[in-house]
Amino acid sequence: MRSYWFWLVILGASWTMGLIQLSIGINELSLHILGSALFFGLFFLMPLVRRNPFIAFLNLLVMAILTILIFWPQSESALNPFPLMVFTIIAGKAVYRLSGKAAAVIGVVVLAGALLHSIAGNAGWPPLFLLLYGLVVSGALIFFKKSYVLEEELQERNEALLSEYRKMKRRLLTDEQAARQEERTQIARDIHDSVGHKLTALLMQLEVFRLQADGDAAEHLQDLKSLAKESLEETRSAVKTLKHDEAGGVTAIIGLIRKLEAESFLRIQFSVKHGALSAPLGNDQMVIVYRAVQEALTNVMRHSQAREADIVFEAPGSSIFRFTVSNKTVQAAAFREGFGLASMRERIEQAGGECEAGPENGLFIVKGSLPLIVKESGLE
């Protein structure tokens, strides 16, 4: 886009100086202004028709013919070098936008126009100079075309390789997660089949002995039975946790950050303040924190032009766990909470926490807090 306006300024300056150099009367001035308006109208249409090679060719051809007619020198006019710059820009546009044959036709037309100008004017450019100039410009433009095509091919190849690399990383991550989950499931199955069954058998034997015993022995066996029952419940809870495949915890969040940075989606600054890592979060709470951070980073990728984000974990007073995800925003549009943020807020509030999201001082901030379970120690 910047190059378009750059060449527009150069073309406009050359065109204006070329008109100033012409010796034309008032009657002819209106025709030159009309032709100039038509020329620049076609120039503005060029980006719109560039995807249609034939229309782009006709557009540049008409621009070349208009240049020849508008800057046709009078017999008494002095040397006007500015049309040659206009011809050069048109030739460059043709090489940049058209195929080789179509660009060659445009090049022949502008070269013929420059030669006709030289023949028609008393003080025109020497034909030999124009031929040599045409050869030099043609060589430079051909070299530029080859370099441009090679660069596009390399860019497409790099994008294809980058896309394949990202797919492989996602596949490796998925396979790693699947292998980890399969291993956890196998461990859970082994615990269930060995420890769980043995604890169940132990409970049955303790119950048989309790029924046969009396007095203090029966009470002692009842205590042992309760202890074995609690062990069985804890074993079942551990098995259930191992089988649970929902991500959670700081480790999973770090894995998410590494994935996003590896795939060049975001640059993330992750800060952990004192006490946050040792905060006694439950498994459900860790999952909630992970999902909240994931949703916030997803919103950054979707809606923010700034590809940076800051994540802060803290546990002030060891009574609550607080997380903040912030990113710069340049748009001052009205904020409307979407489904993802609404679901995240509902999930946090169901766990007894609080959640806020919205623009604040040039940042979009998502912050939430969860109550910590403070365990009291004592002697029984």
- How far apart, in whole angstroms, are the C-alpha atoms of residue 291 and residue 256? 11
pLDDT at 378: 38
- How far apart, in whole angstroms, are the C-alpha atoms of residue 335 and residue 364? 10
Percent of the chain with pLDDT strictly greater than 90: 4
pLDDT at 61: 92
Asked whether 311 and 270 are in contact (CB, 8 A), the reply is yes
Terminal Cα distance for the chain, rounded: 77
pLDDT at 380: 33
Q: What is the pLDDT of residues 69-85, one digit of tens each?
A: 888 876 666 777 888 88
In which band, very low, low, confident or very high, does the pLDDT at 268 lie, cut at 50, 70 and 90? confident
Asked whether 325 and 310 are in contact (CB, 8 A), the reply is yes
**Averaging pLDDT over each range in 34-43, 223-232, 270-279, which range is the top one?**
34-43
Asked whether 46 and 59 are in contact (CB, 8 A), the reply is yes
What integer best gives the mean pLDDT of the chain?
79
Q: For the beta carbon of residue 342, count every other beta carbon within 10 angstroms.
A: 12
pLDDT at 96: 86
Task: Specify the pTM.
Answer: 0.47
Q: What is the pLDDT of residues 147-177, one digit of tens each?
A: 888 988 898 888 888 878 777 877 776 677 6
pLDDT at 57: 92
| More confident position, 81 or 248 | 81
Nearest one of 81, 39, 36, 32 to 60, comparing CA atoms? 39
Q: What is the pLDDT of residues 333-366, one digit of tens each?
A: 566 777 778 888 888 888 888 988 888 888 888 8
pLDDT value at 275 more than 80: no
pLDDT at 262: 67
Q: What is the pLDDT of residues 21-33, one digit of tens each?
A: 777 666 777 888 8
| More confident position, 320 or 333 | 320
How many Cα atoms within 13 Å fall on the side-chain side of residue 124?
A: 21
pLDDT at 207: 78
pLDDT value at 374 more than 60: no
pLDDT value at 379 more than 50: no
